[in-house]
Structures are given as structure tokens and as C-alpha cells.
Chains A and B, each alone.
Chain A
Amino acid sequence: MTGHGHPHGPVRSEPRSPWLHGSWLRAIWVSFLFAFIAIGISAFIRYLLGFPLHGAEMQEVAATFGLTFWAIGFTVGIGCFDYWWGYIIGSPNWVQEDHSAHGAYSWRDYFKVNTDHKVIGIQYLVLTFIFFMIGGALAEGVRAELASPGTQYFSPGTYNGLFSAHATLMIFLFVIPSFAGIANFVVPLMLGAQDMAFPRLNALSFWLLLPGGLIFLASFAVGPFAAGWTNYAPLSVHAPIGDTFFTIGVQFAGASSIATAVNFLVTIVTMRAPGMSFWRMPLLVWANLATSSLVVLGTPFIAGSQFMVLYDRVMHTHFFDPATGGNVVLYQHIFWFYSHPAVYIMMLPGFGIISEIISIHSRKPIFGYRLIAFSTVAIGVLGFTVWAHHMFVSGMAPWLRIPMMATTMLIAVPTGIKIFSWVATLWDGVIHLTTAMLFALGFIFTFVIGGLSGIFLAVLPVDINVSDTYFVVAHIHYVLFGGSVFTIYAGLYHWFPKMTGRMYDERLGRLHFWLTFVAFNATFMPMHWLGLQGMPRRVADYDPRFATLNFIISIFAFVLGASTLVFLYNVIHSWARGPIAPANPWRALTLEWQVSSPPPIFNFDEPPQVVGGPYEYGVPGARHAIVTVHEPDPQFAGVATATAVAGSTLQREALLTAMKHILVVANQTVAGDALIDAVRERAGAEPLRVTVICPQNDPGGDWVTDDRQLAQATRERLDQTLARLREAGVEAAGEVVDRDPYTAVMDQVESSDPPAEIIISTLPQTRSGWLRRDLVERVRRDAKIPVEHVVVDVHQEPAAGA
């Protein structure tokens, strides 16, 4: 996260109390208030109509309205709608270009409504990873039960809930939104845009996801939904109340997904940098274009199917009731019309990620760029024509089966094209086995297996045999874990430096890969055989002759779970303490790598000019785009400019490092005269650029404390300082940082752009917390560059702002 030291745009005047402005506190009480009001109104209407206010039906009504309005209330309370509300009511405080909620200036911004696509991307990735762990824990519960025949730990209803929630969380709360998170961070940068087309809608998309996930989890309190993530009628219609939680949770996850997709489509179509034709877009962008189209067109069908189940449950309608003219198979048609494209929604972004990684880490243009782009779109279109291959044994119209087999078979062709193209990209490359590349290679191996088992499943007689057995479980995990999850890991490793500004530990990454790869194959390969032998899926008990194999599978499943912890440790440790990452560690050509790591808050100072394709490796001097960094105001004479119009980061950095770089560290004393004099003195001698950091320790550490005033005051003082420095002809930048001063200084010293000299400004000895902690001595000892200590007595100087 970088900051310019002040938020852009005017700050809306907001209520001081955190209970009243957009915050977690307000989200909590508004959500429950909405829920209670909704339940109250529905109960009142039932009372007026003469229906009973107790019993199963009332419970269903209460759950339906309560959960729906609780989730809506949550998004209102956290602040997603404040801007639009101001617009609607014509609030005098409303400002059209309001960037007060934009950008990460401290870690707290990640827990609030923020409109910066980079912040939202990271919010998505962290939240979805948490749901990945929860979904994984549920799977370990399933595998614990399956380790031996017979039932050991869970009642049948709970066990059915375990695998139902496992799949639901993994699909709706992990794979789909995780790709949205990666794309959120990367795609606007790749396009040369400053953000997405609709940043506020983007924030709402994220905040819709959390209540949706919580609704799924809350079902465990009333008896988890237990009809599978597929929720087939009539089982779902007659199931206990947990099923209602599922139908409503899906709506919020779906709404989140659709809103994100609309955002991506509009962004990709309208916000590409000048010169970026469709044929100069990176393949990740193509992938997101196709995926978003699928989401917009397909997701409403699962919404519709779950509405219908909900209506059958709560209003006793007869969509799926054969006794009164409804149709059971109808549910499956509507459900799978989305859920088949859903699997491409869960795979196409991964394909895009792999295209980027294989090309960059083997230093070669992607082989067959246009055909890969075409095949991506083809998979998207064909994906809508194959849904009934999930219904071959369902009793649907028999004539539909063979055409569906044909279309399903054909989808293998564009998929195969991609695999062959990726292998051809590797051929004769310069291959760097980074962790991202390892996962990409592992992905190719496991995805080919999953794709082949898919071809088996397309062949009708084979499908009739293995449908609903462990063969299908093997297939789906090969394409969803060996496929999607491997690509998510690959993407996270590849873009980790860009997102966090740190490098991850490569050895731990390698360990993570091998553990995952071995444990994954050992867990899921034997399942093919189990399915062929006739072990059905979604069972807690099985034929005792499968006992040994199930036991071995369970052991490896736990190893697979443990491998996630290696990843978690690597991410957390590297994010906090990893080596500072350069702007372009992979020497890549796409636009996201042409800005700093992490990128500036508004990404680019002006739209980059795209002059070539994104994969022009191997051609000396070839460029994808020209990125311009703005020079400071030319009225400040005597200062070497930082303008660099260059195709390479190296040129820009060379220009900047020609000037002497001084680090100024001050908090309350910033803007003090003595400090500014000290800096001016040095500036008189030579061209100077100054970085000012204001380490601000939060006094209470309590996340509900409103320290906005405090940060605001510090920022204003900092702005004053920067202004005065610039008046003196010094190029100055700075920010308020939220950590202890020693670490803040050492971060600068150890960064890729270290200062030549440090000035630390403190209060007098008797009043300085920093001096009590020997800050200056420790820095002098460890930084090994000259450190000057300036004492500023703020009580003797005229009021320095605030």
C-alpha cells in the first residue's frame, strides 16, 4: 500500500460516532434492526391474514425475511449505500467525485468500505481464503467419517450437511470470488486504468459476499442444509429449515458475482488504455471478459431455481410437485443451465492466469495467442449447450441425451488447444521454476487428467455407469482442485510481490507445491477406481472391501489440509517481514509490472500508451506500452526532474537515484521550524529529494476507536510540511505510517530505494516517547548511514497546524 499523505478529494463531513457512520458497529445494529423489522412486518401480515404465528411455516417465513433483510442491513450499515443515499436525497454534503473512501492508508482501511480495486482485491482474497479453510475443514470432517466403514462421528443429517456446506463454500465463497479478487487487483492495472468502471459497486460486491457466507454457516445452528450443493427438488423442498438458509445465501453470493461481472465487462470494454485493441489485451483480460459474460447470463438461472425451491417451501407453490402438475426434472434443467457454465466460470480465469505465468516465466510469447483467445470465447459459448450431461440418468426427454453428448465432447477441443499451446510455449523457452511456474506445470498435469475423465463422462454408456459414484468425485476434484485451486495458488504467488510489495519465501513455496501436488494426487486418484467399483457418492457408509483405500485417502486428505498451513505461514510471514519487492521482479511486459510494488493509489498518472502486444519477449527493445510518470511543478527551479518517459523501469529508477535522498522521520514535531530549517540547509548544497514519514502509533489499539481525527490532524501537519519544503525547492513526498518508528525507518533503509541520510525529529528528552526507547541510538547503530537528531519543542513554536 502506498499513500500520498492525504486523501484525494474533499472529505464528507460525517457523524463522529462510529455507531452512526459506515462501520462494523453500525453494520451490526442496522443488520439486526432490518431483520427484526422484516420479521415483525411479515408476522403482522400473517396475523392480519389469520395465519398461525408459530410452527414450521412461521419459522420458514421468519427465516426468509429475517435472513434476507439481515444481509441487506449489513451492507447498508457498513456503508455501501451512503454515497447513493446522499445522491438520492440530495444531501448538501454530497460530492460527485468523492474519493474519501479510496485507497489503503493503513491496515484499517481493509476492514472498511473502500473503493480502491486493489484494496477490494485483497479483501476478496483474504476473505475467500478464510472460507477455503472452513470448507477444507468440513472436507476433513467428511474424510474423518469415511476413514472407516460404518458411522463413527456424525449423525447422517449432519454428515450430509458437511459435504453440502463443503461444496457450497468452495464454489460460491472460494473459487468464484477468489478469481474475482485476483482479477479485481490485476485487470484494471493490466488495462492501464485507474480503477474499475464502478468502484462503489465493486465495494458493494465484496460486502455482499460476507453476509452470504455467514448465512451458509449460520445454517449449522439450526441444522445444516443437507441436500447437497445441488439442492435437488423434491428433497430440498421437504428438507428442514437449514435449506432455506442455503437458498437465501445463494442469492447474495449470486448478486455479488453478477455485480462484479457487470463491472468487469464495462471496464474491459470502455477503459482500455489508448492503443490497446482487443488483440493486444493480455489473456487474463480475455479470460475475465468471457467469464463475466457467463456470470451475467448464467447466474440468474441458479437464482431462479433457488427462488422456486424457496417458494415451494414457504408459499407451498407447486413448481416441483408432481401430484399437482409440477415437474421434478424441471428443477434440474434450470439449475444446471447455470451450474454447468459455473464450472467454466471457475476455470476460465484460471486459464488466463496460467497463460500469463507460462509466458512470463519461460520468457516466450504465448504460443497461439489468437487461438487461445478464440478458444476461451468458444468454451464460454459452448458451455451453455451442455448442461444436460449432468442429467443423463435423470429421466429427462431421452432424445436430448445424444445431442448433449455431442456438444460435451466438442468442448474438449478448445480446452485441448489451450493445453497444447501452453506446452508449446514452454518448448525452447528459458524456464524459471518459480513457485508460480511449479503450480502452473502441476496444473497442466492434473488438469489433463481431469479433462480426460471428463471425456469419459461425456460418453453416455460410461456416464450411465459411473454417474453419482466416486468417479465423479475424482473428476470434479481434479478439475476444481488440480485445476482451479492450483491456478489460484499460481496467481497468488505470481502477483504476491505486486500486491504486497514483498517477496514470498521461494523455498517454502516449493515445499508447499510438492506437498500439495503429492497429497492431492494420492487423495483423489484412487477415487476413480472406487467409483468404477461401485462406491456411490454422498454416503457416510460403504462396502467394507473399500475400507483400506478409504483410510489411505483420508490420511492423504489430512496431509493436503496441512499443506495449506505452509502457504498460510509463507503469506503471513512474507507480508510482514519479507524482502521488499522491486516493481518488476519477473521482468514482465504487462502494465501492472510497470508501476511500483504495490502500485500507487491511483495506479497511473496518465493513461499509458500501448504500442504492441503483451507477450513480446525475445525481441530486443520491444515494448507493450509507454508509461509516463509525472514531473513535479516546473516552478520549483533547481530541482532535477523525475520525469521519465521510458519503456523500462530501470531507466526511470536511474534518473531518480541521481538525486540525494534524505529520510525525515517525525510525528508530532513534523512542520516544526527547526526541522524544516535543517532540511533547507542541506537543500542549499545540492539537489535533494526528501521522504517524510510520520510513524503514528495508535494509542488504544482498539479497532472501534475513532482515530480519524488523529490521523487527519497528522496528515494536515504533514501536508503543511511538504508544502513548505516544496516552497524551498525540495522535492518532497511523505505519508503517515501506522507502525513503530524504528521499524518504519529500517524498512526505508532496507528498501530498494534507500536514503543516504536520515533526520529524526523528536520532542525534547523529557517528553519524547521515542527518545525513551533510544530510537536515535538504535537507528545510528543499525542503519549505518549518517543520522541527525533535531529537537523540536512544539510548545515554544507557533501552532503547527491541526
Chain B
Amino acid sequence: MSAIKVGIVAIIVGAIGTVAILVTPSWFPVAAAVQAHRQDDLYLALMIMSSFIMAVVTVFLVYSVWRWRARPDDLRDGPPIHGNTTLEIIWTVVPTIIVIAFAVAGGVVLVKNEQTTSQELVVKVTGEQFAWTFQYPNGVVTHELVLEKGRPTEFAITSLLHDVIHSFYVPQFRVKADAVPGIMNYTYATPTRVGKYVLICTELCGPGHSLMRAPVQVMEPADFTQWLATQKSDQSKGGA
């Protein structure tokens, strides 16, 4: 078979791979934020590209080995081909275009994910060995992160001054930012789904790192307002 035909086989294999990727149930946990949906789409595009690249390399590799495998007593040499300028240009330019395209896409998604608006909820997140604390604009302090569905939220994240680095990660939102002593780090999420999720520390912070988690809950706007008010009055009474 000529190289063109093998190439066609490779493209077909890549297409089959693409179909398999598309029909597979999601690789990810449930998507619970606008940022999550964007990341998942980007990831899918990357998977499809990978399917084709993997197919091209593997099909040509396997075909070559199958077709031109020699017996140990075969002492011939192969043809003295040193290169092919056209081919080399193609496989330099095409990957460059592909990676630039994904870099641009990634940049666009990043900018969109981090856009701020005026009606944002700002939650101050403080990490320490080995617990998370959340502070709301009205002064409420909790160890559970409760958020309002549909409301863009900015997380202002830090760690206690004499503590170590932690990292704020909610898999269902697909957002992450390190909690660093001495600086304020920011990430953004607009929750889209009511439910219970989890905040996981993802920076090695000592022996308690495996267990450093906090519950996350997204509520309907009305429920959230009520929760926040209840917390406020509880805390000013000196309670929980």
C-alpha cells in the first residue's frame, strides 16, 4: 500500500476514535459552573485532535513493522532515503497551526472564565493546615462553602501568613487557585446547578493534606439569601 492509502486508513481510524470519544459518557464529574462547561468543550476538542494524531502515528508505525519486518538472516539494507523536504515542511507547519489554534482557544476561554461583573459575590477563602475558612461580604464566617446558583462569584484566596501553600479546587467547577501566604490569589466561578460538591486541597501541605476538604453547596438564589441571613444572625448572637 502506498503511503497515501495508509494515511487514509489512519484518518478513518482517527474518525472511529472520534466517534468513540463522542459517545462515551462524560470523562468528568458533573459540570456545575459556566467555567466547567467551557473547559469540557475545550477538552473534547483536544481529545478529537489527539485521536487523529494518535491514529496517524500508530497506523503508520504498525503498518511499517508488519510490512517490512525482516528475518534475522536478512542482511539487506533499506533504501538510502535521507528525507523529504515537502513532508518535513508539512509536519512542521501543520502541527504549528494546530497548537497555535489551541493556544488561542485556551486564551479565549481563560479570559471569558475570569471576566468579572459588578454584581459579583466575593468570598474570601483562607486555607490553613488543615482546614478551609470562608468569609462572606456581610462578615459571615463558615467552614462550608455555600454559593448562589447563577451568581458570578469571585474567590479571593490566601493562606495564613505563617502557614504553607494550599490550593483551592472544586472539580465540579473546574477551577483552581493556590492559597499562598502573603498574597491574594483569585479565581472565578458562576455556579449553574444546585447540588452538593466538594472542595479539595490540591497542594501538598503536610501530613494532613489527604484529608483537607470542605463541603460545597450551591443553592437557589432565594435559599441562598435566606441561608446567608440566618448565618449572620446566628453569628452575631454568638452562636455557631
A residues near B, CB below 8 A?
155-157, 160, 226-228, 232, 234-235, 238, 322-323, 326-329, 362-365, 367-371, 393-395, 401-402, 405-406, 409-410, 412-413, 416-417, 419-421, 423-424, 426-433, 441, 444-445, 448-449, 452, 455-456, 458-462, 464-465, 467-469, 529, 532-534, 536-542, 587, 615-619, 622
Out of A160, A327, A371, A405, which one reaches B83, CB within 8 Å?
A371
Chain B interface residue count: which class?
A: 35 or more
| Least Cβ–Cβ distance between B71 and chain A, in angstroms | 9
Q: What CA separation (Å) do A136 and B165 show in the bound complex?
A: 28
Out of A368, A413, A431, which one reaches B64, CB within 8 Å?
A431
Q: Provided the pairs A468-B202, A532-B27 are in contact, do residues A430 and B74 lie with their beta carbons within 8 angstroms?
A: yes
* CB–CB A618/B58 < 8 A: no
Find chain B residues with CB under 8 A from A370 CB.
Answer: 83
Out of B78, B96, B171, which one reaches A428, CB within 8 Å?
B78
* CB–CB A538/B165 < 8 A: no
Q: Provided the pairs A431-B65, A467-B176 are in contact, do residues A364 and B81 lie with their beta carbons within 8 angstroms?
A: yes
CB-CB nearest in chain B for A407 = B103
| Least Cβ–Cβ distance between B55 and chain A, in angstroms | 10
Q: Provided the pairs A431-B69, A461-B39 are in contact, do residues A412 and B99 lie with their beta carbons within 8 angstroms?
A: yes
Task: Tell me which of B46-54, B133-141, B229-237 binds A.
Answer: B46-54
Q: What CA separation (Å) do A432 and B61 show in the bound complex?
A: 14
Q: What CA separation (Å) do A156 and B130 show in the bound complex?
A: 13
* CB–CB A448/B57 < 8 A: yes
CB-CB nearest in chain A for B106 = A459
Q: Is B169 located at the chain interface by the 8 A CB criterion? A: yes
Q: Can you name 15 A-B pairs with beta carbons within 8 Å?
A: A157-B207, A232-B203, A234-B164, A235-B206, A367-B82, A367-B83, A371-B83, A371-B88, A395-B185, A430-B76, A459-B42, A461-B110, A462-B106, A464-B174, A529-B27
Q: Is B95 located at the chain interface by the 8 A CB criterion? A: yes
Most chain A C-beta atoms within 10 Å of own C-beta, residue among B79, B105, B107, B109: B79
Q: Is B113 located at the chain interface by the 8 A CB criterion? A: yes
Find chain A residues with CB under 8 A from B84 CB.
Answer: 367-368, 424
CB-CB nearest in chain B for A155 = B207
Out of B50, B53, B178, which one reaches A394, CB within 8 Å?
B178
| Least Cβ–Cβ distance between A312 and chain B, in angstroms | 13
CB-CB nearest in chain B for A617 = B77
CB-CB nearest in chain A for B114 = A398
Q: What CA separation (Å) do A419 and B54 show in the bound complex?
A: 11
Q: Is B70 located at the chain interface by the 8 A CB criterion? A: yes
Out of A363, A394, A423, A469, which one reaches B60, CB within 8 Å?
A423
* CB–CB B81/A365 < 8 A: yes
B residues near A, CB below 8 A?
3, 27-29, 35, 38-39, 42-43, 46, 50, 53-54, 57-58, 60-61, 64-65, 68-70, 72, 74-84, 87-88, 91-92, 95-96, 99-100, 102-103, 105-107, 109-110, 113, 161-165, 167, 169, 171, 174-178, 180-185, 187, 198, 200-211
Find chain A residues with CB under 8 A from B185 CB.
Answer: 394-395
The 6 closest A-B CB pairs, nearest first, are: A322-B182, A534-B171, A156-B207, A618-B80, A395-B185, A364-B78
CB-CB nearest in chain A for B6 = A427
Q: What CA separation (Å) do A432 and B77 show in the bound complex?
A: 11
CB-CB nearest in chain B for A532 = B27
* CB–CB B70/A420 < 8 A: no
CB-CB nearest in chain B for A539 = B210
Find chain B residues with CB under 8 A from A421 CB.
Answer: 88
Find chain B residues with CB under 8 A from A235 CB.
Answer: 164-165, 204-206
CB-CB nearest in chain B for A327 = B182
Q: Provided the pairs A323-B162, A329-B183, A444-B61 are in contact, do residues A460 and B46 lie with their beta carbons within 8 angstroms?
A: no
* CB–CB B39/A430 < 8 A: no
* CB–CB B181/A462 < 8 A: no
Q: Provided the pairs A235-B206, A461-B174, A465-B39 are in contact, do residues A395 and B183 lie with their beta carbons within 8 angstroms?
A: yes
CB-CB nearest in chain B for A453 = B50
* CB–CB B43/A456 < 8 A: yes
* CB–CB A232/B87 < 8 A: no
* CB–CB B54/A449 < 8 A: yes
Out of B76, B178, B209, which one reaches A395, CB within 8 Å?
B178
Q: Provided the pairs A441-B61, A587-B75 are in contact, do residues A532 and B28 lie with their beta carbons within 8 angstroms?
A: yes
| Least Cβ–Cβ distance between A479 and chain B, in angstroms | 15
* CB–CB A459/B202 < 8 A: no
Q: What CA separation (Å) do A363 and B74 show in the bound complex?
A: 11
Find chain A residues with CB under 8 A from B205 CB.
Answer: 235
* CB–CB B78/A618 < 8 A: yes
| Least Cβ–Cβ distance between B6 and chain A, in angstroms | 9
* CB–CB A413/B99 < 8 A: yes
| Least Cβ–Cβ distance between B177 and chain A, in angstroms | 5
Q: What CA separation (Å) do A542 and B187 show in the bound complex?
A: 25
Find chain B residues with CB under 8 A from A445 CB.
Answer: 57-58, 61
| Least Cβ–Cβ distance between B58 and chain A, in angstroms | 7
Out of B75, B95, B200, which one reaches A534, CB within 8 Å?
B200
* CB–CB B42/A462 < 8 A: yes
* CB–CB B60/A468 < 8 A: no
Out of A416, A428, A529, A536, which one reaches B91, CB within 8 Å?
A416
* CB–CB B207/A461 < 8 A: no
* CB–CB B28/A533 < 8 A: yes
Q: Provided the pairs A445-B61, A465-B176 are in contact, do residues A234 and B79 lie with their beta carbons within 8 angstroms?
A: no
Out of B78, B106, B109, which one reaches A363, CB within 8 Å?
B78
| Least Cβ–Cβ distance between A445 and chain B, in angstroms | 7
* CB–CB A461/B202 < 8 A: no
Q: Provided the pairs A423-B60, A465-B174, A465-B176 are in contact, do residues A616 and B38 lie with their beta carbons within 8 angstroms?
A: no
Q: What CA separation (Å) do A235 and B201 show in the bound complex?
A: 14
* CB–CB A423/B39 < 8 A: no
Q: 15 more A-B contacts (CB under 8 A) besides A405-B103, A421-B88? A: A156-B208, A234-B181, A235-B164, A367-B84, A370-B83, A394-B185, A423-B64, A427-B3, A429-B64, A430-B74, A431-B65, A445-B58, A458-B102, A465-B171, A536-B200
Find chain A residues with CB under 8 A from B68 CB.
Answer: 362, 426-431
* CB–CB B180/A328 < 8 A: yes
Q: What CA separation (Å) do A118 and B98 show in the bound complex?
A: 45
* CB–CB A234/B91 < 8 A: no
Find chain B residues with CB under 8 A from A423 CB.
Answer: 57, 60-61, 64
* CB–CB A467/B202 < 8 A: yes
Find chain A residues with CB under 8 A from B64 CB.
Answer: 423, 426-429, 431
| Least Cβ–Cβ distance between A184 and chain B, in angstroms | 29
Q: What CA separation (Å) do A467 and B187 show in the bound complex?
A: 14
Q: What CA separation (Å) do A464 and B207 show in the bound complex?
A: 24
| Least Cβ–Cβ distance between B59 and chain A, in angstroms | 10
* CB–CB B183/A328 < 8 A: yes
Q: What CA separation (Å) do A533 and B174 show in the bound complex?
A: 10
Find chain A residues with CB under 8 A from B46 CB.
Answer: 455-456, 459, 462
* CB–CB B79/A364 < 8 A: yes
| Least Cβ–Cβ distance between B208 and chain A, in angstroms | 7
* CB–CB A441/B209 < 8 A: no
Find chain A residues with CB under 8 A from B201 CB.
Answer: 536
Q: Provided the pairs A234-B165, A461-B106 are in contact, do residues A616 and B80 lie with their beta carbons within 8 angstroms?
A: yes
* CB–CB B209/A539 < 8 A: yes
CB-CB nearest in chain B for A151 = B210
Find chain B residues with CB under 8 A from A364 CB.
Answer: 77-81
Find chain A residues with CB under 8 A from B42 CB.
Answer: 459, 461-462
